[in-house]
Amino acid sequence: MALKTGDEYIQSLKELDLKAHVMGQAAGGLTSHALVEPSMRAVAQTYDCAHDPQSKDLFRVISPLCNEEVNRFTHLHQSAQDLVNKVRMQRHCGNLTGCCFQRCVGMDAANAVYSSTFDIDAATGSAYHQRFKEYWAWVQKNDLVVDGAMTDPKGDRGKRPKDQTDPDMYLRIKERRQDGVIISGAKLHQTGMLNSHEILIMPTISLRPGEEAWAVCCAVPTTAPGVRYIYGRQTSDTRKLESCRLDVGNPKFGGQEVLTVFEDVLVPWERVFMAGETAFSGTLVERFASYHRQSYGGCKVGVGDLLIGAAALAAQMNGVAAASHIREKLVEMIHLNETLYSCGLACSAMGQPTASGNYLVDMLLANVCKLNVTRFPYELARLATDIGGGLLGTMPAAADLEDPVAGPYIRKYLKAADGVAVEDRFKVLRFIENLVAGAGSVAYLIESMHGAGPPTAQRIMIGRQGDLEGKMQKVKSLLDLA
C-alpha cells in the first residue's frame, strides 16, 4: 500500500470519527475542533515529510517485516544507522512544527515489544512474537499512527498494584476468556491518542510474581468499545478559540495529551503480546523508556532550534543582535541544544542488535540523554526569556492592535528597531511565550521533565548501567591496589 500523505491521514481520522470529552463537553468532529486540529496537523507533517523531495529519503525505509517501503515512524530499526536516522528525522519534524508531533511513541513501543516478545517466546515457548510481527506488518502496510500507552495512574505510589484500594490504578487483565482478555484501567498523559488509529498497551513498571494480572501488553483500535477519552488542558489553550490567531504563539501546530479510560475492553488473543509474564515486564518497560529517552535527543533539539532562532530574532528586532552579552547567551543556547543532539546521536551510534534482530540504543547513553533533557530545555527557556525581555509577560492582546483607540498607541510604543513591523515582533515574542510559558511549554518543558520517566528514573538506570564496580577495578589495576 502506498505511503499516505498528510491529507490522506487526516481523511482516515475523519473516518474513525472519535469522540472525546473536551473542556467539559462531549465532542465529536475532532479533526476540525479548534483545540485538537493543530495537534492533528503536527502528526500530518510526519506523513507529508515522506513525500517532500527534501526529506523523503530520510523518512522512507524498506521494512524487512513486510518487504515494502514504509514510513520510518513505523520502522523496526535494523542497524545503528537506522537509530541515528530516527533522531535526525525527529529533529527535522521538531524544526517544522515547533511542538510534539506525537508519532514517536508508537514507533518506540513497537521496537520494545518486538524484542521483548522474542525473549518471552524463547524462555517460555509462547507465540507472542509471531503474533506481534503479523500485527506490526499490518500497521506498516496501512501506514498507521499507533499510540504507545504506558503510564498507569498508579494511585498510592507507596503501594504495589495488587495492594491498591482500586485494582484499576494499574491497567490489568480483569478476565481471561476463550476469545481474549478483558482489560480494565486507564493510561494517563497519552500523547496524540486522538490522532491515532491504534493503541499499543504496555505495563508501566517491573512486576513481580503474584502481579500477573497487571503484566499485560496488547493492542486495540482507538475505536474499540469501552475506550473513553478525556482531553488534557494546556496553558493558554483557549487562545486557540479566539478569532485573532496572533496570540496563539504557534499558529499552525500543537501537541496533545489525553486521559484514556479502558472500561472492560475485549482484546482478542491475536492482539495480546504478554499476559502474565511478570519476569519480562521490566525488560519491556526499560527498552521502551530507553528508546523514548533517545527520541528526546531529536525532537526537543528540533524545537530548541526554533527557540534559539526566535530569541535571535527578538534580539535583532530590539536592535541588540551585536551586543556581546546577547551573542554569549545565544552561543550558550546552541551549545546546550547541540549537547542534547550529541547524546541522541551517541546512544544511537552505539546501538546493538537484540536477540530478535532489531537494534536497541545504548541504554546508559540514552538515559544520560534524557537526564540532560530534564534540565537543558529549562535553561534554554531561561535564556530565551532573558533575551526576549519583560514584554513576553506583559504584551497587550493582539486584538488591541486593530482597536481604533488602543491600536495606534501599541504601534507607537511597541515599535523597536527601525523597519521591524510591530506584528512581526508580536509573532516572535508570542512564539517564545508559547514555548516557555504557554501551550507549547507542556511538551517543551513539563514533558521534558516527566515524559519517558522523571529524572529519578534516569538516575536509577544510570546507576545500574554505569559500571561503578568496573571503574573501581580500573583504578585498582592502575595503582596496583590489593
| Maximum separation of any 2 CA atoms in the chain, in Å | 85
- Pick the catalytic residue from 170, 229, 296, 341: 296
- Pick the catalytic residue from 99, 217, 299, 369: 299
Q: By C-alpha distance, which of 268, 255, 256 is closest to 229?
A: 256
Nearer to ligand SF4, 340 or 410 (CB): 340
| Helix axes 324-349 and 363-373, enclosed angle (nearest 10) | 150
Tell me if 228 sits within 8 A of 263, measured CB to CB: yes
Nearer to ligand SF4, 92 or 271 (CB): 92
Nearer to ligand SF4, 197 or 329 (CB): 197
Give the nearest distance from C-beta 134 to ligand SF4 in angstroms: 25
Give the nearest distance from C-beta 38 to ligand SF4 in angstroms: 14
332 catalytic, yes or no? no
338 catalytic, yes or no? no
- Pick the catalytic residue from 49, 93, 99, 104: 104
What is the rounded CA–CA span in Å between residue 301 and residue 104?
Answer: 15
Give the nearest distance from C-beta 323 to ligand SF4 in angstroms: 33
Nearer to ligand SF4, 105 or 120 (CB): 105
Nearer to ligand SF4, 120 or 442 (CB): 442
Give the nearest distance from C-beta 369 to ligand SF4 in angstroms: 11
Nearer to ligand SF4, 451 or 453 (CB): 451
37 catalytic, yes or no? no
Residues at the contact surface with ligand SF4, assessed by CB under 6 A: 100-102, 104-105, 191, 295-296, 299, 443, 447, 451
- Pick the catalytic residue from 92, 129, 197, 292: 292
104 catalytic, yes or no? yes
335 catalytic, yes or no? no
How many Cβ atoms sit within 10 Å of the Cβ of residue 416?
Answer: 17
Tell me if 132 sits within 8 A of 202, measured CB to CB: no
What is the rounded CA–CA span in Å between residue 340 and residue 296?
Answer: 8
DSSP string, 22-58: ETTEEE--GGG-TTTHHHHHHHHHHHHTTT-TTTHHH
- Pick the catalytic residue from 49, 100, 217, 369: 100
DSSP string, 189-242: EEETGGG-SEEEE--SS---TT-GGG-EEEEEETT-TTEEEEEPP-TTGGGGGS
Alpha carbon separation from 481 to 189, 225, 471 (Å, rounded): 51, 66, 13
User: Quick one: three-class SS letters along 297-331?
Assistant: HHHHHHHHHHHHHHHHHHHHHCCCCCCHHHHHHHH
Nearer to ligand SF4, 119 or 447 (CB): 447
191 catalytic, yes or no? yes
100 catalytic, yes or no? yes
Give the nearest distance from C-beta 151 to ligand SF4 in angstroms: 12
Give the nearest distance from C-beta 42 to ligand SF4 in angstroms: 8
Give the nearest distance from C-beta 299 to ligand SF4 in angstroms: 3
Tell me if 35 sits within 8 A of 27, measured CB to CB: no
Q: Which long-range contacts (CB under 8 A, 24 or more apart) does 452-459 make?
A: 452/289, 452/292, 452/293, 452/295, 452/296, 452/370, 453/289, 453/293, 453/370, 454/374, 455/371, 455/374, 457/289, 458/293, 458/367, 458/368, 458/370, 458/371, 458/374, 459/371
Residues marked as catalytic: 100, 104, 191, 257, 292, 296, 299, 447
